[in-house]
Structure 1
Amino acid sequence: MEIKNYIWDFDGTLFDTYPVMLDALQQTIAKHGIQYDGYLAYFIKKYSIRKFALDYATPEFINDYHALETKLQTDVKFYPQIPTILADIVNKGGQNFVVSHRDDKTYAYLGELAPLFTEIITGDNHFARKPDPEALTYLLDKYELEPSQTGMVGDRPLDILAGQNAGVKTILFDEAGIFLDNVIKADVLIQTWQTMIDQ
């Protein structure tokens, strides 16, 4: 499978932000007195924090969570192999894009990596949320990307479904081994970014 152009999710894919997100979520759950006995990390990977708020909390919950997560997320780090991967894609004539539900803080978090992306789409662009393919279709059309040479890269089923709905290739980054059964049928499933460098 030859992929030239890559559309990247942000949280848990390019950047290892999930530990702090999970901490903020657990603290917000405690603050709101919510009882949840399930596997929280699995729930937010399979669905989303927004769905957790809709299913188990009050409307104020998501605002409290975002405020706390922003406060705690002070040392945002990309996965070590990511700069090499992104630069290699560009050096081979490809393009990188971001489609994230996170707001425009994404730009600040990307920092020195930002020039390696042709366009960055955040929640503040108000495209329909993944798995709706609206943002991906916009990029395909604007940059005349060939779907068979374009890949959606993410760490959650909704990223893969967005890619499938847009008709592009899909790469599932499953660091924790939550989705190794690959029932969503991603084209590629990897657990470490070093695998992508070694290929």
Structure 2
Amino acid sequence: MHNLIWDFDGTLFDTYPTMVTAFAKALAQNGIDEIEIDAEQIYQQLRVHSLAAALQRFSAEFKLSITELSASYHKWEQLEIKLAKPMPHSHEVLKLVTSEGGENELETHRDQQSIELLTTAKMISEFSGVVTSQQGFARKPSPAGILYLLQHSKLQRENTAMIGDRKLDILAGQRAGLQTILFDKDYLITDDGHPDVIIRDLSELKPLLAGH
């Protein structure tokens, strides 16, 4: 493969610690005692499922308004996300793709924050195309954002792979006709959508890139 279409949260950047902190603070703000807040359970809901699933589960469990919990979470996340760091080896793999004549693309549910974090980390220049929530494409597992990037950057499907850390990334890539790579660093994804490759560390991408 020459080209990679990247997910952001949990793939390019290790954003889950900041998301878990924000979620715990949102629960506390809504009157939940610290002793009742299980960070590992929050992490698993976010990582394996989604933010929407986490909001639904914990608002029901603690009998909270899902609207108020969501508002509190997003307020805290705007502050916490600034502390997120790139995943180990992410920058060197981005550079390897471009040095081999390939292209990196980004397809994320996150908004402009993803661009700001990539810019701060001096990684944004490695990308040829970007799709964020602000473009209004249907969310993954819809392939809409991926299909746009394929057309925008004139990428050949047979030379392009989608990489992400959840089943919905794999399904989106498959529906766009791409090879798929699941990044499951902590062995949490059991229903994985049958990706072509499963990796535990981004450095495992190096031998997969054509010409390396």
* TM norm structure 1: 0.89
Q: How many residues align?
A: 196
> Structure 1 pair 51/183, CA: closer, same or farther in 2 (3 Å)?
closer
RMSD, aligned α-carbons: 2.0
AA in 1 matched with 2:205:
M
| Higher deviation after alignment, 114-123 or 68-77 | 68-77
List aligned pairs for 1:44-55, cutoff 5 A: 44-55=46-57
Deviates more, 1:96-105 or 1:21-30: 21-30
CA deviations on 1:5-28 (whole Å, 9 max, x unpaired) are 111011110011111111111222
Post-superposition Cα deviations, 1:146-190, rounded to whole Å, max 9, x if no partner, equal: 2121111111111111111111111111111112x4642111111
Which residue in the other structure is 2:45 paired with?
43
Match of 2:137 among 115, 127, 130: 127
Aligned positions of 1:97-136 closer than 5 A: 97-111=105-119, 112-136=122-146
Question: CA 1:125–1:183 in 2, change beyond 3 Å: closer, same or farther?
Answer: closer
Distance between the aligned counterparts of 2:157 and 2:44, measured in 1? 30
Residue range with higher mean Cα deviation, 189-198 or 117-126: 189-198
- Structure 1 counterpart of 2:27: 29
Gapped regions of structure 2 (runs ≥ 5): 60-65
Alpha-carbon contact 1:182-1:189 (below 8 Å) kept: no
Structure 1 counterpart of 2:63: none
Q: 1:194: Cα distance to partner?
A: 2.2
**In the aligned structure 2, how far is the partner of 1:99 from the partner of 1:17?**
15
- d(CA) in 1 for partners of 2:37, 2:81: 24
Of the three residues 88, 92, 97, the one matched with 1:89 is 97
Partner of 2:11: 13
In structure 1, how many angstroms separate the alpha carbons of the residues matched to 2:8 and 2:115? Answer: 11
Name the CA distance, whole Å, in 2 between partners of 1:173 and 1:166: 19
1:65 to 70, 73, 84: 73
Equivalent of 2:182 in 148, 172, 176:
172
Deviates further, 33-42 or 158-167 = 33-42
Quick check: which has more Rg, 1 or 2?
2
Residue in structure 2 matched with residue 161 of structure 1 by the alignment: 171
The answer (yes or no) to whether the contact 1:151–1:169 under 8 Å persists in 2 is yes
Q: Counterparts of 1:127 and 1:55 in 2: how far apart (Å)?
A: 26
In the alignment, the residues of structure 2 paired with residue 36 and residue 158 of structure 1 have an alpha-carbon distance, to the nearest angstrom, of 27
Contact 2:167–2:192 (Cα < 8 Å) also in 1: no
**Stretch moving more, 124-133 or 28-37:** 28-37
Instruction: State the TM-score, normalized to the length of structure 2.
Output: 0.84
Indicate the larger mover: 32-41 or 66-75: 32-41
Runs of 4+ residues deviating >6 angstroms: 34-38
The amino acid of 2:159's aligned partner reads Q
Please point out which of 169, 184, 196 is paired with 1:187.
196
CA distance in 1, matches of 2:79, 2:192: 36
